[in-house]
Amino acid sequence: MPSDNFYDKWLGEEPKPTLRPYKTPPTGITPSDDVETITQRIEAAGIDITADYGDWVNLGFALTEEYGENGRDYFHRLSRFYPSYEEAECDRQYDKCLRSHGTGITIRTFFQLAKDHGVSVSIPSLPSQPSIPSQASSAEDMPDFSQVPLDGNDGNDGSDGKQRLLMPTFYPAVKGRLPRFLERIAAVNDSDADADMLILGTLAVLSACMPNISGIYAKRHIFPNLYLFVTARAGTGKGRLYLCKSIVEPIHDELRALAEVEEEKYREEKEAYKRQKKGDCIPEPTPPPIRLLFLPANSSSTAIYQALNENGEQGLMFETEGDTLASTFGQDFGDFSDGLRKAFHHESISYLRRTQREYVNIKKPRLSTVLSGTPQQVVNLMSSVENGLFSRFLFYYLDKKTEWIDVLDEGDGEPLDEFFEKLGKEYLAFFHTLKELPPIKFKMTSEQGADFNQHFALLQADYMGLFGDDTVASVRRLATSTFRIAMILSALRIWEDGDTVGIRTCNEDDYRTAMAISEVLQQHMLRVIKELPASSSKMVVGQAKEPLLLKSFWDSLPEDFDAKDFKSIAQEVGLSIPTAERYIRQWVDTRLDKVSRGRYRKR
């Protein structure tokens, strides 16, 4: 092997790459040569197999060992995809390789480099020289990327038999730190993901039933309301989300019972008005308000707005089939998507009641939404990251379950539906307590606020650099929802400690819980983005089809690294080497500083 001082660094300002014109194969090498075949494949894909300095030098050794001077043109053709390729520097390096003898590196190294970079080396025969040393213990242990597509889609969804990337869960991180009410709910889980779903579903339904709780966010009043979409393919257990509806069903039932009493009184007054005699002067009664908590998604936009207006400007939309809402949006009378977007930020919604010729303005709508459905139903409802609804929702993607669950096991306790109904009755009492209290203002400590702002500022910068501007709105609204989650957790503490003072400061457990949930949800959001049509997102880096892998790849990179480091990390997270190389080239001068050839530092 050559001495260390042989490995000179490329120093100074590196010029823009200059592509060397294609030449016919050197004298003495026929076009049918295996090296020519693989070289043409590399050129067709535009892959740089020389980003690592050591790989570049070894390629020179391999070509000089096999072809001598006749391999120089191959060295140029294979080096020209390096961003700072220089013809003169390439010639100097090849000259050095020609002067070195007995390195033990053979043309097999070239084939291995090509294979490591995702280029198929399936040819009739390979040279019979010994293979180069590898970290893998055998050829069978070596990852084979030869069939990985070169468009960035590494297929890690399990649909093609490849290893599937399981979605992260937050329950292990928050278990034992939750308010007791949530701990009881999470305890009936059949998996960590199921616990996550039950916690999120509970937070979302409670967000519609926390009167007199608010906070100041971005210098405006904000209420606890959340938008949640649990998505999964068939047979994943997302149907258990429906249990969460039982927690607030007694509130809805109480409102409906009151409405029936008022409706009966109205009918009696209406009859008296119709039967009155001349001179009785009985005024025509006013119809009672529509009292309910659950707003049916298959309603007209006017009916939804009227129900919001007549229920103190608040309500909950809970649908287990996302297509119900999507089909309603498809009707002229039912497209209240604009109102749904406005309600997230409590922006006023105005409408006209044509029958009464009445103008209605809902000043601060407080609407919560819980949906579940397949990934296709997400697409049907909001087909693009740019769709304003997408950024307003928290997404949770349930992995498919493959094991059979004992459906005949009655368990040691009461049935789940009865358990959740009992929880609902308990919460009804707390709901009335909140209604009777003076307004309570939620706030974070100054330390929590500084950490919160720093966390989301960095996350926003990360997403802008990784995926472009389209995801900025999602990050900012994820921050809004994280603040709301902390607010709900803090409100539940009132139930435990009885402290009803006018200002409720977030305790450290609730803050850390909210941030842990948020950290997992941003990864689930990226998983849902993968399901959207490729043309719907203008993400940088070739419209990355595996945003979760890309984020994992970036997060796993150390502050300083070289080409071998990032290639190894790419394989660990399931990203093909050519795809990783494209990302690295994209990030240079925006997210990375290039220290020297093949060495990088995060900015």
397-445: per-residue pLDDT in tens? Answer: 988 765 666 667 666 677 898 999 999 999 999 999 999 999 999 999 9
> Token pair for residue 403?
């094991």
Return the closest-CA partner of residue 528 out of 552, 541, 545.
545
| Cβ(573)–Cβ(586) below 8 Å | no
Lowest-pLDDT choice from 489-493, 518-522, 549-553: 549-553
pLDDT at site 508: 96
Give the contacts of 516 (CB within 8 A, at least 6 positions apart): 170, 173, 174
Q: Nearest-CA neighbor of 38 among 151, 105, 125, 129?
A: 125
Query: φ and ψ at 85, to 5 degrees?
Result: -60, 135
In three-state secondary structure terms, 431 is: helix
Question: 525 and 377 in contact (C-beta within 8 Å)?
Answer: no
Among 492, 494, 419, 424, smallest CA distance to 181 is for 492
DSSP character at residue 502: S
Distance CA 32, CA 25 (A): 10
What is the predicted pLDDT for the residue at 33?
64
A 10 A CB-CB count for 458 gives: 10
Rg from Cα positions in the chain: 31
Overall average pLDDT of the 320-341 stretch: 80
Q: What single string gives the DSSP state of each residue in 434-482?
A: HHHSPPEEEE--HHHHHHHHHHHHHHHHHHHHHH-GGGHHHHHHHHHHH
User: What domains can you pick out in the chain, each with its CATH number?
Assistant: 4-116 (no CATH), 171-401+438-536 (3.40.50), 546-602 (1.10.10)
Q: Which of 98, 80, 76 is nearest to 26 (CA)?
A: 76
Q: Which residue has the tokens 């961003």?
A: 83
Residue among 415, 54, 398, 40 nearest 231 (CA): 398
Count of CA atoms in the C-beta half-sphere (13 A) of 450: 3
Candidate from 251-265, 294-308, 574-588 with smallest mean pLDDT: 574-588
Q: Which region among 95-109, 222-236, 243-257, 442-456 has the lowest average model confidence (pLDDT)?
A: 95-109
φ, ψ of residue 443 to 5 degrees: the values are -150, 155
Question: What gap in Å lies between CA 539 and CA 77, rounded to an integer?
Answer: 31
CA–CA gap between residue 164 and residue 196 (Å, rounded): 20
Sign of CA dihedral 425, 427, 433, 437: negative
Quote the longest CA-to-CA distance of the chain. Answer: 121
Q: Residue 478 — pLDDT band, cuts 50, 70, 90?
A: very high
Percentage of the chain with pLDDT > 90?
Answer: 35
Please state the rounded mean pLDDT for residues 383-407: 79
The string of pLDDT tens digits covering residues 124-156 is: 443 333 333 333 333 333 233 233 232 333 333
Which residues are CB-contacts of 534 (< 8 A; sequence separation ≥ 6)?
543, 545
Residue 396 in contact with residue 201, Cβ under 8 Å? no
Residue 150 near residue 157, CB atoms below 8 Å = no
Q: 24 pLDDT exceeds 80?
A: no
Range of weakest confidence among 395-409, 455-469, 512-526: 395-409
pLDDT tens sequence across 77-124: 999 888 788 888 888 888 888 877 666 788 888 888 888 888 887 654
- Measured CA to CA, the distance from residue 373 to residue 390 in angstroms comes to 14
* String of DSSP letters for 331-374: STTT--HHHHHHHHTT--EEEEETTTTEEEEESS-EEEEEEEE-
* pLDDT value at residue 17: 33
Worst-scoring range by mean pLDDT, 100-104, 193-197, 382-386? Answer: 100-104
Is-contact 373 228, C-beta < 8 A? no
DSSP letter assigned to residue 391: G
State the DSSP string of 176-241.
Answer: TTS-HHHHHHHTT-SSHHHHHHHHHHHHHHHTTS-TTEEEEETTEEE----EEEEE--TTSSGGGG
What is the bridge-based pairing of β-strands 349-353 and 440-443?
unpaired
| 170-184 confidence digits (pLDDT tens) | 999 999 999 999 999
pTM of this structure: 0.68
What CA–CA distance (Å, rounded) separates 81 from 579? 14
pLDDT (average), residues 268-290:
87
Output the CA–CA distances (angstroms, integers) from residue 73 to 10, 28, 94, 121, 425, in the order listed. 21, 13, 10, 20, 80
Per-residue pLDDT band at 212 (split at 50, 70, 90): very high
Return the bridge partners of 442, or none.
Answer: 215, 504
54-67 residue pLDDT tens: 788 889 888 888 88
- List Cβ neighbours of 380 (8 Å cut-off, separation of 6 or more): 322, 323, 326
